[in-house]
Amino acid sequence: MTSPLRLGIAGLGTVGVGVVRIVRQKADMLAARTGRPVVITAVSARSRDKDRGVSLTDYAWEDDPVKLAVRDDVDVFVELMGGHEGAAKDAIEAAIAAGKDVVTANKALLAHHGQALAETAEAAGQVIRFEAAVAGGIPVIKALTEGLAGNEITRVMGVMNGTCNYILTRMQDAGLPYDEVFAEAEALGYLEADPNLDVGGIDAGHKLSLLSAIAFGTEVDFDGVELEGIQRVSIDDIRQAADMGYRIKLLGVAQMTGRGLEQRMSPCLVPDDSPLGQLQGGTNMVVIEGDAVGQVVLRGAGAGEGPTASAVMGDVCDIARGFRLTTFGQPASELAKAKRAQSNSPAPYYLRMSLKDVPGALAKIATALGEHGVSIDRMRQTRHNKEDAPVLIVTHKTQRAALDQAIEAMGRTGVMTSEPVALRIETV
């Protein structure tokens, strides 16, 4: 009989428990599909006595995940603890040194240390798999490294944080302000312990940096991702975008240009009839564009016990079958150091600002834009009160750097009563 593949699972939160359930309930199916039994031999978590709704009595317990990682009866170390420093990093390094393969859902760890970990693992003949780290149950990493391996990837983009998509779609559907929907999401348990990881775009930025490395054959460069969260998106922005035929999404975009690698995670306007525009609630979507295949759209649950555990088990099953792929689809030692684009591709922008209700205010704004090469496509003044006048401007295509210079000049005119909100209008 073929020997079983033995798992050691560190982290028994939502995803860890989901993995335990799949291994226990689908044992025959997993063996049939991989050609060998898949079993759990040992586990580790912060609390041994917590009721997790699944029996753990069949497994050895380790309080220290590093000790779990080096056990002789563990073939694959499954890291589901989270955090980009400390126990998770120490345990993965120990597992690799002990000759174990690694499956992880830890996008933060890989975004910060993925290059070094990949080089170490590949030099030792071990694999690191991380399908669950990006877009939950969507098999986007497998799509990039395997199904689309014959393509030169031209662009990767998507909505990769379900919490932000929930907040933005809830604002639009219910007509509620950001602060109210943020509080609602917090009460429902949708937000990370540090909410800025979600609404600040950091979580999604981690994911984008990993997809960029695979798509463009570069070292992971999270520091090169331009990050802007959704905190300044107002219900007025949502409504005005809708009036123009757009929806606002926290959109990640990575593309290789003649200027270098662009990586940005920011709120953007996308056409409301596009797949991204139609994406509702906590669902994720990744759009991949290749020279041979054209555009591929992947949509699915981006988080939760079942979807993320499904992704973990996809990696486990590949290892059980003997399928051993380099971490980022090609040897880590051969990945190019990413040359960061000094400027983003030109695009039209949506601008919202409030101006003093004085003669010549609009003219000063138009002059500031024009002096920096930013052309106005359309302009609208919305509800008017005695103190200020809200103004909306849509520009023609321009460089963000030129727009930023124009906004700085607008601030010196003395006619603005609030800092402008500038949102890119993305072609999808």
Of 191, 146, 156, give the one whose Cα is nearest residue 323: 146
Predicted model pTM: 0.93
pLDDT in tens, 65-113: 999 999 999 999 999 998 888 999 999 999 999 999 999 999 999 999 9
Q: Based on the fold, state whether residues 98 and 156 are members of the same structural domain.
A: no
- In the prediction, which pLDDT does 73 show? 97
Decide if 288 is inside a domain.
yes
- For residues 99 and 146, membership in a common domain is answered with no
Give me the pLDDT at residue 85, please: 86
My answer on whether 71 and 158 are in the same domain is: no
CB 130 within 8 A of CB 210: yes
**Is the pLDDT confidence value at 365 over 70?**
yes
pLDDT of res. 385: 65
What is d(CA 372, CA 414) in angstroms, rounded to the nearest whole number?
18
Q: Are 296 and 148 in contact (CB under 8 A)?
A: yes
Domain CATH for 396? 3.30.70.260
pLDDT confidence tier of residue 1, bands split at 50, 70 and 90: low
In this structure, what CATH number is given to the domain that contains residue 59? 3.40.50.720
Distance CA 77, CA 101 (A): 6
pLDDT averaged over every residue in the chain? 94
| 295 and 157 inside one domain | yes
100 is catalytic: no
Q: How far apart are CA 117 and CA 136, in angstroms?
A: 22
Which whole number is the average pLDDT over 356-364? Answer: 88
Whether residue 323 is contained in a domain is answered as no
> Which of these is catalytic: 207, 249, 337, 339?
207
Instruction: Judge whether residue 282 has pLDDT over 90.
Output: no
What is the domain count for the chain?
Answer: 3
Instruction: Check whether 133 has a pLDDT greater than 80.
Output: yes
Is the same domain home to 148 and 293? yes
**Three-class DSSP category at 5:** strand
For residue 200, tell me if it sits in a domain: yes
pLDDT band at 389 (very low <50, low <70, confident <90, very high): confident
- Note down the domain range covering 412: 349-425
Q: Give the separation between CA 162 and CA 188, rounded to whole angstroms.
A: 13
Token readout for 219 is 């070292």
What pLDDT does 358 receive? 85
Whether 383 shows a pLDDT value over 80: the answer reads: no
Task: Select from 59, 81, 104 the last residue of a domain.
Answer: 104
**Mean pLDDT across 26-36:** 96
- For the chain, first and last CA: distance in Å? 51
Domain-terminating residue out of 301, 329, 364: 301
Q: Are residues 209 and 259 in the same domain?
A: yes
pLDDT in tens, 164-174: 999 999 999 99
Report the pLDDT value the prediction gives residue 40, as an integer from 0 to 100: 98
Q: 368-373 — which CB contacts under 8 Å span 24+ positions?
A: 368/406, 368/409, 368/410, 368/412, 368/413, 369/393, 369/395, 369/406, 369/410, 371/406, 371/409, 372/402, 372/403, 372/405, 372/406, 372/409, 373/398, 373/402
Shared domain for 18 and 158, answered yes or no, is no
Q: Work out the percent of the chain whose per-residue pLDDT is above 70.
A: 99
